[in-house]
Structure formats: structure tokens, C-alpha cells
Chain A
């Protein structure tokens, strides 16, 4: 047999083997049948340890809470041009509830909700200007989260100076975090001085500039701040990592428990001002299933992350004060953004 033939034969055998393997294995086949819940991520992954992951965990919890057997599945968006198509895949498959994660999907979600009045939509971080009956925007009172973190910082600071390194003030939630943080610090420590700096760039760079975050955090440290709030994606993370290198200084994370997302910040991370996206998504799914979901904006819960390595420096007295603050925010007796 000529060598040429032998190679061809070998190739054919491999081909045959692979084809056989391809045909024999079954499985997959989508989510058709039963009560199905779909989730479309922003251009990120469901294991991003942040937004998308929290929402996905919430969708799974929500599915588990539904009495009927419900399944949740997700599509990770590769390109922002695919938002509408990815939502449509779930619509075509008969999904009853569709969760879309992130500000970027806002317009595509509204369009899909208008076109499919029988499907319930949940838009995480999507503010609704006009209420559609089948679309709930899951928003969070960031000012409350910032206030709680600030209240803790006001009690922990020894120099009586607290700093904040923030994404752009173009994004309202960032402003809410900042105002809440400052007011919270003043609430527990009326003499506190605050140094808060917004990133000067546009939306496309403000959350992706860890170098600026680090430099700005350094400036605040040099001016005497000993606890710094980093709120602004990678920019804020840069601030946390810078503070971690300063002995004795503390830092506060944002959105999720950043103990898990920025391990470099372990030497300083005393807590994070969290938005409980998973709880909010699961709650809205239960409501959507029960038929009680209201269109428009729904405000989820916020909270402080565990103190991890710094559990011992947060005294019982401080914990009592924080509990009072939370109760005050909850019943409205404390206004996180007066004026």
C-alpha cells in the first residue's frame, strides 16, 4: 500500500471514529418543555464573580422556589450586537420568564417586552422610564448601601478622614453610593472629613482605569485618609489594591463581596457595600410566577458583606450601631441623601 493511501486511510478512520462518537452521544437539546426561565448576560460570563454571576444564582434560586418543576438556563452574550437575538432565542423556545443582566440590555429588553406581552421580563439595573406590565427593572437603593458602609467607616477611622475613589458621576448609582457613604460617615462621626474623587473620564474609561484608581487612592492616603471606599469597577479595584499595600489602612468594596473578586485586597478589605442581586432576581421570579409582579421599577435589598479577616476590629458596639442604622434606613427615619 502506498504511503499516500495509508495516510488517507488513517484520516478516514479518525473521521469515522469521531462521527460515531458525535452521533452516539445524546443529551443537550435545549430547555424545551416545562416552565423555563432564561437569563441573558451582558458581555460577561455567569462566573464573573460579580453582576452576571449574582443574577444567575438568583435565577437558579428563583427556579428552585417555583412549585412547578422549573428549569433555568442562560446565554452568555459575546457581542453587544447579539442582545436582541439572544433574548429572542429564549422567546422562541417558550421561556416564561426572561432575566436580562445589565444596563446595556435595557433597550433590547424593552423592545422584547413590548413584542412579547405574555413573557415576563426582569431587567437587572435597568431603570424604567415608563412602566410596561410585563417588565420589572431591578434597581437598588445604592445610597443605603453607601450609608451603611460609611457609617462603619466613620466608626473605624482613627485619623477622622475617609476617602472614596469613584467611577464617573455620569452614572447615577455611583453618585448615590458616594453621597450615602459621606452621609453615613458623618452620621456616626460628625467631625469626619471626606475626600471623594470621581474619575474625570467618560463612561467608556471611567470603570476600567485601575491605575487612576490606585493613584487617587494614594493621594487620599497621603492626605491622611485611613479607610477608602473603591466604587467603580476596575477603577475602584485599583484603589482597593493600592490601599492593601498600606499598613494599617482599610478599604471597602462595592456591589458584591469583593473578598472573592479582588483577593489582592484581603489585607485591607473590612466589608463591601453590596447589592443583593441574587435575592432580588429570585424574589421577582417568584412574583412573576405567582402573577403578582408589578411593571416598572422594583427596588432590591442592599447590605454589608462579612468583615472576614477584620471581624475582630468591628466591636459589638459598632455592630449595634450598624443594626440601628439599617433599621433606620429600612423604616425611613434615616435619609441617606438629605437635600
Chain B
């Protein structure tokens, strides 16, 4: 058991180490001290309660975004639409959050979260339904829907739901009511706890239920699943809806717990980072948690690293890309570490292509 876990995490772990080592070379090439830089990175992400809070806040949408990609992977689909699903989730959660007044928190906060989840589910579900009924490729459709979501949320926050307080000219909604604001327990945002619970739930559903078995069957071999009586179309459509719901929840938590409102342009890129997280976690819902924490830590500490060591903050992006590179091309790591090919579940990125 422990051996197999070790083998599963060996590649991502080695990828992180390799990425950081190449980062050392890059830091040296900027005439900065790697020891100072990495120390500042860790202190900036874990050094005190504020730093820990920042790391957990950054990790939260990454967990949701990572799950949105990982769950779709399990059904053999590549969800590039996390960004759009997250945006609609964020704006609708904010709308319920500021638009309704006088509800107690036990009703208002869940209602706002559900609004974000439903909006995301619809956004993901569109791509899934089109895939199931017409064969339209989910990669293309989700990319297109990202643009639609971006413009829709810009318009909503600039027109009907615009914050008209003071001299505001920015496209943003008013602040959400206190009764819809996700609280923080010490240094731990409740949204992060929610993300962890959702990740565990995803794992349970995928690994321990009939539905999860059907999803994985479709992912392994769509034709075999069809022959064995699984409703492939339904599984694909519903999985994409679930994936969208997860990203939408991520957006909702961002609006209700971090930003306090929806603001156009503020959440750009969060959904795309989910792809990094899912790959780093090798599409395992539980693996998404440490992967998101690692990336969240690096992003939370990047400012301090820049400040203390004079290293350009883009270094973090480069290290992330390197880690991803090593995860996606594990043959390099296997060669260096002389590892045997593992026979555990393979992440097949190409599974979605060439099938209709």
C-alpha cells in the first residue's frame, strides 16, 4: 500500500524538486541568492498567520479549478472551460450575495454558493450536452464559452449589477452582504475547508459509487462502456456539468470569501491554473489538494521573494511551467531516477482527441 502511494507521488515530487533546482540556476543568473529567495518564498507563504491565510486563500480556487479539470479527465474529457465556469459562478454568487437583504447567514450564504454552483454547472453542462448530442468537441466549445463568459460577466458587472457607490467607475458589483460573506477561522478561510471537503467527496464518488465507476469506464474506453450498457452521452454531459459546478463553486468562494464582490478582470487566469493543478495531481481529486497548496504557497510568497531577493516574480510562473513539463514528460524523471514504468492508472491527455 505505502509502496504504491510512494510510486504514485514519486513523479510529481521529483518534478517539483527538479523545477526548484532549475529555479536555483535561474535565480543565480539574476545575481540573486537562491537561499534568500526560497527562504523569502516560504516565509511569505507560511511565515505567520497572515501568510498562511494568503496561501490558503490562493489555494482554494486552485483546488476547485483543479477538480473541475480532474473530474472531466476521468470521463476522458479535457475541460479547458474552468475559467468561464469560474467567472459565471463568481458573478452569480456575488449577485445573490449583494442583491438580497435581510436573510440570516444560514440561508443567505448557502444560497449564494448554490447560485454560483448552478451557474457553473450550466456553463459546463452546455459543453457536455453538445458533446453528447452533436459530438462537438468539448475543448473547442469550452474555449469559446470562456470568451462568452468573460464578456457576459463584464457586461453584468458594468451594467445591471454595477456598484454605483461613490465615484466608482470600475466594472464591479457592490460588496456582498455580511450574511453572505464566508468567514475566516483564525488563519483558515472556511472556503478552504469547503474545498477540501468537496475534493474528498469527488474522490468518494469517483472511486466508491456506481456513477463514478461509469464515469471512469467512459474515460477508459467509450465504446466498451457503451456496449456494457452505460449511457455514455448522459455520463459525458453530467460529468461536464459537475466539472462546471466545481469551477463555479470556486468562483463563488472567491467572490464571497476573498474579494467580497465580483470585479471584472480580477479573476483572470484562476480557471486556467486549474489545468496545471490537475496535471500535477495526475487527475486524482485527493492529489489536487497538495498540488493546489504548493502552487498557492508559491504565489503567496512570490511578492516577498521579489522584495527580499530582487528576483522577478515571473520566476514562479517559470518554475510552475517546469514542474508541469516534468509531470507531463515523466520519461525524463524515470531516466534520471531509473524508475520502472508504473502500471497504475495512466493519465491519458490525448484520450479526448480523435474520438467523437
A residues in contact (CB < 8 Å) with B: 3-4, 7-8, 10-11, 14-15, 18, 21-23, 25-30, 73, 75-82, 85-86, 89-90, 93, 127, 129, 170-171, 202-205
The number of residues on chain B lying at the interface, defined by a beta carbon within 8 Å of a beta carbon of chain A, is 45
Contacting pair B167 A11 (CB below 8 A): no
Assuming the contacts A22-B33, A80-B265, A205-B154, asked whether A30 and B337 have C-beta atoms less than 8 A apart, the reply is: no
Interface centre among A11, A127, A129 (most CB of B within 10 A): A11
The distance in angstroms between the C-alpha atoms of A86 and B44, with both chains bound, is 11
Q: Which chain B residues lie closer than 8 Å to A204 at the CB level? A: 154, 158, 171, 264-265
The 3 A-B pairs at the shortest CB distance, nearest first, are namely A202-B158, A22-B34, A28-B309
Q: Which chain B residues lie closer than 8 Å to A203 at the CB level? A: 158, 169-171, 264
Q: Nearest Cβ distance between residue A199 and chain B, in whole angstroms?
A: 13
B6 at the interface (CB under 8 A from A): no
Q: Which chain A residues lie closer than 8 Å to B167 at the CB level? A: 127, 129
B residues in contact (CB < 8 Å) with A: 21, 24-25, 28, 31-38, 50, 54, 154-155, 158-159, 166-167, 169-171, 258-259, 263-266, 299, 302-304, 306-313, 335-338
Q: Nearest Cβ distance between residue A142 and chain B, in whole angstroms?
A: 15
Contact of A170 (CB < 8 Å), options: B169, B259, B309, B312: B169
The distance in angstroms between the C-alpha atoms of A203 and B312, with both chains bound, is 29
Closest to B37 in A: A28
Contact of A27 (CB < 8 Å), options: B32, B336, B338: B32
- 19 CB < 8 A contacts A-B: A8-B337, A15-B21, A18-B34, A21-B28, A22-B35, A23-B35, A26-B36, A27-B33, A75-B306, A75-B307, A79-B299, A89-B303, A89-B304, A171-B169, A202-B158, A202-B171, A203-B158, A203-B169, A204-B154
Q: Which chain A residues lie closer than 8 Å to B28 at the CB level? A: 21-22, 25
Closest to A82 in B: B303
Q: Which chain A residues lie closer than 8 Å to B307 at the CB level? A: 30, 73, 75, 89-90, 93
Q: Which chain A residues lie closer than 8 Å to B310 at the CB level? A: 28, 73
The distance in angstroms between the C-alpha atoms of A75 and B170, with both chains bound, is 24
Contacting pair B171 A28 (CB below 8 A): no
Contacting pair B33 A25 (CB below 8 A): yes
Closest to A6 in B: B338
The distance in angstroms between the C-alpha atoms of A81 and B336, with both chains bound, is 39
Closest to A40 in B: B303
Q: Which chain A residues lie closer than 8 Å to B304 at the CB level? A: 89
Q: Which chain A residues lie closer than 8 Å to B38 at the CB level? A: 22
Contacting pair A78 B313 (CB below 8 A): yes
Q: Which chain B residues lie closer than 8 Å to A14 at the CB level? A: 21
Contacting pair B308 A18 (CB below 8 A): no
Chain A contact residues, majority secondary structure: helix
Extra contacts, 10 of them, besides A75-B307, A78-B299, A170-B169 (Cβ < 8 A), are A10-B336, A11-B337, A21-B28, A22-B34, A25-B35, A28-B32, A30-B308, A76-B306, A81-B258, A203-B171
The distance in angstroms between the C-alpha atoms of A205 and B151, with both chains bound, is 10
Q: Nearest Cβ distance between residue B302 and chain A, in whole angstroms?
A: 6
Q: Which chain A residues lie closer than 8 Å to B299 at the CB level? A: 78-79
Q: Which chain B residues lie closer than 8 Å to A170 at the CB level? A: 169
Assuming the contacts A18-B24, A27-B31, A89-B307, asked whether A78 and B158 have C-beta atoms less than 8 A apart, the reply is: no
Closest to B266 in A: A80
Q: Nearest Cβ distance between residue B126 and chain A, in whole angstroms?
A: 24
The distance in angstroms between the C-alpha atoms of A76 and B313, with both chains bound, is 8
The distance in angstroms between the C-alpha atoms of A14 and B17, with both chains bound, is 12
Contacting pair A4 B338 (CB below 8 A): yes
Closest to A30 in B: B308
Q: Nearest Cβ distance between residue B336 and chain A, in whole angstroms?
A: 6
Q: Which chain A residues lie closer than 8 Å to B336 at the CB level? A: 7, 10-11
Contact of B308 (CB < 8 Å), options: A28, A81, A202: A28
Contacting pair B259 A81 (CB below 8 A): yes
Q: Nearest Cβ distance between residue A274 and chain B, in whole angstroms?
A: 23
Assuming the contacts A28-B33, A29-B36, asked whether A78 and B309 have C-beta atoms less than 8 A apart, the reply is: no
Q: Nearest Cβ distance between residue A163 and chain B, in whole angstroms?
A: 25
The distance in angstroms between the C-alpha atoms of A256 and B158, with both chains bound, is 29
The distance in angstroms between the C-alpha atoms of A2 and B310, with both chains bound, is 43
Q: Which chain B residues lie closer than 8 Å to A26 at the CB level? A: 33, 36
